[in-house]
Amino acid sequence: MDVDQDTPLFAIAAAAELAELHPQTLRQYDRLGLVSPKRTAGKSRRYSLRDIAQLREISRLGAEGVSLEGIRRVLTLENQVAALQERVRELESALAEEVLNRPGRRVFASDASGEVVPLRAGTRVQRRDQLVVWRPWGPLL
C-alpha cells in the first residue's frame, strides 16, 4: 500500500509514540506553530508521516540545545529551501521541454544590465559593450 506523506493518519497518542514524545509536547508544538496537524470534524488532531518526521527533527534540534525560536527559524528556512528546490525543478523541466521542442534555437538571452531579451529564431545578440585596448608603443613589460 502506497501512503502519501501528507495524509493525516495518526491520532495524537499514536503520533506521540512514533515521535517518542509526550502528547502534551505535541500540543505545545501545535500551539507554537512548529507542527500544524490537520483537524477532524470533531477538532481532534491528525498527524501525517511528514508531521511525525518534523516532530523528530524538532526533538533532535532541541536535544542539541537549539531553542524553540531557533527551531522555528530552522524549520522556516528548510521549508523555503524545499519550495525553492521544487521551483528550480519545475523551471529545469520547462527549459528542457522547450529545448526539445525547439532544437537549435535560443530560449532567451540577456542584455548588459541582466534583463531578459527575447530573440527571434536565427538572430544573434547585439553586443554594444565591447572594449578595445590600444597601445601605441607595443605591449607593456
Fold of the domain spanning 12-101: Multidrug-efflux Transporter Regulator; Chain: A; Domain 2 (1.10.1660)
* Contact status, residue 37 vs residue 45, Cβ threshold 8 Å: yes
| Residue type at 5 in one-letter notation | Q
Task: Give pLDDT, residue 56.
Answer: 96
Q: What does the buried/exposed string (b/e) look like for 50-64 if buried means 16 or more CB atoms within 10 Å of the residue's CB?
A: ebbebbebbbebeee
Question: How do residues 101-140 score in pLDDT, each as one tens digit?
Answer: 776 665 567 767 777 776 666 666 666 665 545 555 555 5
Task: Give pLDDT, residue 129.
Answer: 60
Task: Give pLDDT, residue 125.
Answer: 61
Q: Where are the domains of the chain?
A: 12-101
How far is it, in rounded angstroms, from Cα 24 to Cα 27? Answer: 5
How far is it, in rounded angstroms, from Cα 29 to Cα 37? Answer: 10
Mind giving me the DSSP string for 82-135? HHHHHHHHHHHHHHHHHHHHSTT--S-EE-TTS-EE---TT--PPP--------
How far is it, in rounded angstroms, from Cα 69 to Cα 58? Answer: 11
Task: Count Cβ atoms within 10 A of the Cβ of residue 87 and give its class: 0-12 exposed, 13-18 middle, 19 or more buried.
Answer: exposed
Question: How do residues 4-57 score in pLDDT, each as one tens digit?
Answer: 888 999 999 999 999 999 999 999 999 999 999 999 999 999 999 999 999 999
pTM to 2 decimal places: 0.62
**Residue 97: pLDDT band with limits 50, 70, 90:** confident
